Structure 1
Amino acid sequence: MEKGNGKYNISAIQLQGFFFYGPLPFNSVYLCKSYIVRNFPSYKQNKPSGHYDAIVIGSGLGGLTTAALLSQHGLKVLVLEKHYTIGGFTHVFKRKEYEWDVGLHYVGEMHNEQKLLPRLFNHITKGKLQWKDMGEVYDKIVFEDKTYDLVKGRKNLVAKLKAEFDSSSDHDAIDRYMESVKNVITGSRNYYGMKVIPGLIGKWLRNWTSRKFLKYSDSTTLEMLRTFTCNEKLIGVLCGQFGDYGLPPAKSSFAMHAILINHYFNGGYYPVGGSAKIAEYIYPQITSGGGDVYSNAEVNEIIFEGKKAVGVRMIDGIEMTADRVISNAGVFNTFQKLIDNQHPLVPKLKGQFDDLRPSEAHLCLYIGLKKSSQELHLPTSNFWIYPSYDHDKNVSEYIDNPDENPFPVVYISFPSAKDPDWVNRFPGNSTIEIISLARFEWFKKWEDTRWGKRGEDYEAMKEKWSLRLLENLYQQLPHLKGQIDYYELSTPLSTKNFTGYQSGEIYGLEHSPARFRNEYLTPHTPFKNLYLTGQDIVSCGIGGALMGGLITSSAILRKNLIKTIMK
């Protein structure tokens, strides 16, 4: 960590944003140094005991959603989280007088409580989670020659795009594009809905009912867009949010692109009180059903009796039993790390995931400023900054020579400006986050060093990346020069350390056409009573993880939970 080149030594307790002496009671909320601290049970201080109906590995949103839904249907669930706090990419961290989210930067579809996503959030948080509308313009797509505003409302967005691209051929392309996005969404219902059905029948039904969806998912985003238009500027603008799913147009599936674009048609929303509120409000739904959630609880291995999963073995050797085990650790971690490779069913996995790769890793610069968002005129809109309209060329050149080429995408978010409760928790200061692409291999030589103690050469490299990212901020908001009090860079090694993803990825599996053709990305596994949940069985992001939890819970309970929730 650094402020410029300055270095700080901060204890593990300080890293959670508070100071104390003596033991703390569990399930408590403390006010200390103007921080609201959410203190969840730690496995290091207290071990769970007894038999559970289900054990969930990982407390990301997919795992918490699964645990909450199962708990609400009478199951006693244990959630085990490796990190020092729960929530996965919805958790926050604190330094000094600042707080940052690490993965939730905005969410779509919260405008209409009759839609599934807000209804599901209400269901698992008992209606406590509130959302703030980011305003008419939620994303700004920035190129050297022009900035394009993405406005909420499908009709408004179409009108805005047609005003920017005024030829009749462009207008026709925009209409055909919007119609294809609509077709993907319609087709996705069967594609995802059939994932609850196991075995050969499930595979047959998915293939039969998802033909319309697969026609689109088999095409890359660029291939599909070039059937509508040859206007490379229009294509560049339409793909201006590709960083939200991590693959440039020539590599990403058009289905993923369409799902993401549709998700934000009615604007962006941010959780009131910050993204940590999500885990805070889901947690009681699990414990009120007799379940438990533990941080600092690293699972070493899934235990089997023959072909049946019966529990887990922790990193300290302690074993815990359950009727079923649910992994939110990701497909690769589950099958490559948590299952003994001598298990007789492991050969059955051979080839199932050979066509899949992890998504790309990233850098994130967390910035703290000693003035409020209002004083600094920080926007609620996100910035997506590109060196040219050719996203694939930008990425390729940067990957080949990152020191000599500009970042292919820079995303800037202003969380303190989005959250109306920020001024109550952290008056007089504000925060910014800047994200860009990075390769895990660039940091691999420090892989075996400890977080926070990786050496001076590592810190120097972080400083170099930090200054480059700051230049992109100053180009957009030059008045912020001299206003920054603190900054800290997260690298792919940080992501690996805290999430367990082996390549420091944030989106799980990459969203290529091959991903959507893979028949094994469902809640079901070859192992009896072992299930998968989270973004890998649906798609990346908050919505994907949430839906993953819903699909897995429906499969386990053998109930149509969508019908229950929509009531």
Structure 2
Amino acid sequence: MTRRKFLELVSILAGSALIGWTPEPGWAKGRKDGGFDAVVIGAGLGGLSCAALMARNGLRPLVIEQHDIPGGYATSFQREGDTGGTFQCEVSLHSTSAKSPDSRRLLSEMGVYDRLDFADHKLIWSRVEPDGILDLPPNGIAGFEALLAQRFPQEREGLGRFMAYWRKLLDELDAFQAKGMPALKVLFPLQYPTMWDVAGKSLGQVLGRFMADQKLKDMIAMTWGYYGLPPSKLAAFYYLIPMAEYLTHGGQYLRGTSQTLSDGLAAVITENGGTVLLGERVREILLKDGRAAGVRTASGKTFTARAVVSNAAAPVTFGMLPKDVLPREYSTRVSGFKPSLSSVIVWLGLNQDVTTIQPRAELSVELEPDPEVAYAAALRGDYAKSGIGCMIYDNLVPGFSPKDKSTITLMTLSGYEPWKRFEADYAAGRKHEYNLAKERMVKELVAVAERTILPGLSKMIVMTEAATPLTNRRFTGNTDGAIYGYDQTPDNSFRSRLENRTPVKGLYLASAWAAPGGGFGGALLAGKQAFKNLVEDLG
């Protein structure tokens, strides 16, 4: 047993055990009144979830957000149509497995589950293929296996062995949550052999061990875009666990858009004695005797506290510290991490109800059959090859759009490099060339959707809005407009991923940039992990 592999597994399993962790009753009774226990930089899901847990457990957080609404990527906005009517534009949420036992427990601990109204996706996934549309219903892993076996009978034996491996991984994870670590670490590979085996492997490596047919492997990995990496680069554990949750419990969308989750968490904070300060940007993290002790904002205001929790991007957070505070080894390690892909998004308001034409809520269009080729196309901004995801929200929430109209979103992953040349002019407000590039991108995505999903789409459009990696960077502050924090590669997951507790005492990370990673669930868990670390350190 190697020490590195053991430590990686300990980190994996600590993340799974985090769901059930709660502080000791009354642990915060001895706190002093009058001051803030922590300043939380940023009101994205990681910062809001950490602050909500603090407030519900007797601490007093101050959340400082640069925008006039909380949420980060978990937000929405409105745009008027050319012919009247106000359209809702959802920024990020397509589907989340909110009704799984772990998700329900986590949201309940934060005090928001009963405040939310979920709309169930009827299908896990719909994929446009050359010969039609593949629909994947929420029939569990067994239903998924039956569908795959029917389409790939020549791979039935290898597929069966892979599915047995997947089920054993899930069973061992359940057993670990019930029994915990073995008394001797050398027993771990014997007691949990599948978890031991999957650690450090990519999804592509695991699939390739059991099956040869590339189309079958690509179908199992069909939702790789949710994680921002193709199978060859994506950590297998990070894909297989949430995919099993989707297959078993289905996916949900939030009525009222993802803004309701952000608003709900903000309300929990203020109702329990915390404070949410909007429209104020943190510029500097203050230290006292080497410990994080407060922040200074761009307007010159100073706020002190016993600790600082950052929901900002990790590189941005570290840039707020005094020079040379971080240990050299830590700085070198962090500099080797790569920000995830960003995205381009097009929001369209349509002059007619298209739910009778296309009854599916979420569809993907794979323009390149090989995920590796599609990923490379996304990196270079070749949106004619990178594929798109399409959401028709009216199929999930009737009345989402104005009467007799529809709202759809087209999205694809994107590298930052294709938009970097506009960076300086964009910041200076000189956007002519940038806007021309954005218009070309919109036309490309609309053309793909018109050809594959909604014939005649271009003639239905009465509202158009679009976002690029520069938009993402501007509104979230995320380095390179990243949407998943750091890439979730096998060597940047779990143990090797950035810890929530930093080398600077009293400074914690609560975002997709730290453990466990990106996505709504990952950001919420990062908030809880930061809260747990803070509780342990404040005592």
Shift of 1:316: 1.8
Of 328, 331, 348, 1:347 maps to 328
Q: Separation in 2 of the partners of 1:157 and 1:434?
A: 26
- Give the SS at the match of 1:149: strand
Determine the structure 2 residue equivalent to 1:157.
144
Superposed, which structure 2 residues align to 1:92-171 within 5 Å?
Answer: 92-96=76-80, 97-110=86-99, 112=100, 115-123=101-109, 124-125=111-112, 127-135=114-122, 137-154=123-140, 155-167=142-154, 170-171=155-156
Shift of 1:366: 0.9
Of 245, 249, 259, 2:231 maps to 249
Q: Which amino acid aligns with 2:52?
A: A
Q: Separation in 2 of the partners of 1:288 and 1:94?
A: 27
**Structure 1 residue 58 and structure 2 residue 42: aligned?**
yes
- Give the SS at the match of 1:215: helix
Superposed, which structure 2 residues align to 1:384-423 within 5 Å?
Answer: 384-396=364-376, 399=379, 402=381, 406-420=384-398, 422=400
**Structure 1 residue 301 and structure 2 residue 288: aligned?**
no
Q: 1:300 touches 1:314 (CA, 8 Å); kept in 2?
A: yes
Residues 240, 366 of structure 1: CA spacing in aligned structure 2 closer, same or farther, 3 A cutoff?
Answer: same
Q: Which amino acid aligns with 2:341?
A: E
Determine the structure 1 residue equivalent to 2:509.
532
Question: TM-score, length-normalised on structure 1?
Answer: 0.79
Shift of 1:184: 4.6
Q: Deviations over 1:350-403 (max 9, x none)?
A: 3332442110111111111133454x5443431111123311123335646x55
- Give the SS at the match of 1:543: helix
Q: 1:217 touches 1:516 (CA, 8 Å); kept in 2?
A: no
Q: Separation in 2 of the partners of 1:208 and 1:551?
A: 29
Q: Deviations over 1:202-223 (max 9, x none)?
A: x999999998546324112212
Q: Which amino acid aligns with 2:59?
A: L
Of 331, 340, 347, 1:359 maps to 340
Determine the structure 2 residue equivalent to 1:233.
215
Shift of 1:451: 6.5
**Structure 1 residue 383 and structure 2 residue 363: aligned?**
yes
Question: Structure 2 stretches of 5 or more lacking a match?
Answer: 1-33, 81-85, 179-184
Q: Separation in 1 of the partners of 2:234 and 2:533?
A: 28
- Give the SS at the match of 1:434: strand
Question: Structure 1 stretches of 5 or more lacking a match?
Answer: 1-49, 194-202, 560-567
Determine the structure 1 residue equivalent to 2:27.
none
Q: Which amino acid aligns with 2:204?
A: L
Determine the structure 2 residue equivalent to 1:262.
244
Q: Separation in 1 of the partners of 2:302 and 2:261?
A: 29
Q: Deviations over 1:515-562 (max 9, x none)?
A: 126446232111111111132311211111112222222232249xxx
Q: Which amino acid aligns with 2:364?
A: W
Q: Which amino acid aligns with 1:415?
A: Y
Q: Deviations over 1:283-310 (max 9, x none)?
A: 2211122211122221111100122110
Q: Which amino acid aligns with 1:328?
A: N
Percentage of pairs with the same residue: 27
Residues 206, 417 of structure 1: CA spacing in aligned structure 2 closer, same or farther, 3 A cutoff?
Answer: farther
Residues 211, 59 of structure 1: CA spacing in aligned structure 2 closer, same or farther, 3 A cutoff?
Answer: farther
Determine the structure 1 residue equivalent to 2:294.
311
Q: Deviations over 1:69-92 (max 9, x none)?
A: 110011111111122321111111
**Structure 1 residue 514 and structure 2 residue 491: aligned?**
yes
Q: Which amino acid aligns with 2:201?
A: S
Q: Separation in 1 of the partners of 2:267 and 2:190?
A: 40
Q: 2:66 touches 2:281 (CA, 8 Å); kept in 1?
A: yes
| Worse overlay, 66-75 or 380-389 | 380-389
Q: 1:109 touches 1:263 (CA, 8 Å); kept in 2?
A: no
Superposed, which structure 2 residues align to 1:482-493 within 5 Å?
Answer: 482-493=459-470
Determine the structure 1 residue equivalent to 2:433.
457
Aligned length: 489
- Give the SS at the match of 2:273: coil
Q: 1:398 touches 1:408 (CA, 8 Å); kept in 2?
A: yes
Shift of 1:173: 2.9
**Structure 1 residue 438 and structure 2 residue 418: aligned?**
no
Q: Separation in 1 of the partners of 2:224 and 2:215?
A: 15
